[in-house]
Amino acid sequence: MSKFSSSLLSVAFVLLVLAFASPAVEATQVNKCVINGAVSYQQDPCPSGQARKQPSLEELNAAEKKKRAAAVAAAASAAAAGRTGSGAAVAASPAAAMTPALVPPAFPTGYRCDGRQHCSQMKSCEEAKYFLRNCPGVKMDGDRDGFPCELDVCRSEFPGAGR
């Protein structure tokens, strides 16, 4: 064998070794880590020196409040888009304006819409007013004057009403 063919064979062997070795190099996972402000690339997983902080109840409530506000805003914009025809806004009926799109939370008053519909199910006039203002499907204003339960729990607040 000549010196030239021997070196050519050596080069071919090295190229062959590199060709088979490169897939193994590509298969290894590389992790990009930030350690003390410096970026580091390594095969091992990044060290996690800090324990994951559990969110507080206040943080969870704030996140839920944001999510609900976004849902209400989306529903309101969808309803507004549904009320527009040929580019001009159409006035909604007063009954539609009084009906809430979503059931309001119980936070401010302690009351919540729970399916009760009748005056006999209310414990106070304040509760009946809340249900009439905020809950769909209630049957507490027979004369439709905006005052609930005139002959029952709200009799003393609205004397003479409903007669």
| pLDDT tens-digit map of 73-132 | 888 888 777 655 444 444 444 444 444 445 555 455 688 899 999 999 999 899 999 899
The answer, yes or no, to whether residue 138 has pLDDT greater than 70, is: yes
What percent of the chain is predicted at pLDDT more than 90? 7
Would you state the pLDDT for residue 121?
A: 92
Instruction: Determine the 3-state secondary structure of 134 from DSSP.
Output: helix
The answer, yes or no, to whether residue 22 has pLDDT greater than 80, is: no
For the chain, give the mean pLDDT. Answer: 73
User: How many CB atoms are located within 10 Å of the residue 140 CB?
Assistant: 23
The answer, yes or no, to whether residue 144 has pLDDT greater than 80, is: yes
Is the pLDDT higher at 127 or at 53?
127
Q: How far apart (Å, rounded) are the C-alpha atoms in residues 163 and 59?
A: 51
Q: How far apart (Å, rounded) are the C-alpha atoms in residues 65 and 58?
A: 10
Is the pLDDT higher at 54 or at 146?
146
Q: How far apart (Å, rounded) are the C-alpha atoms in residues 107 and 110?
A: 6
Look up residue 41 and give its two tokens.
Answer: 């690339």
The whole-model pTM stands at 0.34
Q: How confident is the model at residue 163 (pLDDT cuts 50, 70, 90)?
A: very low
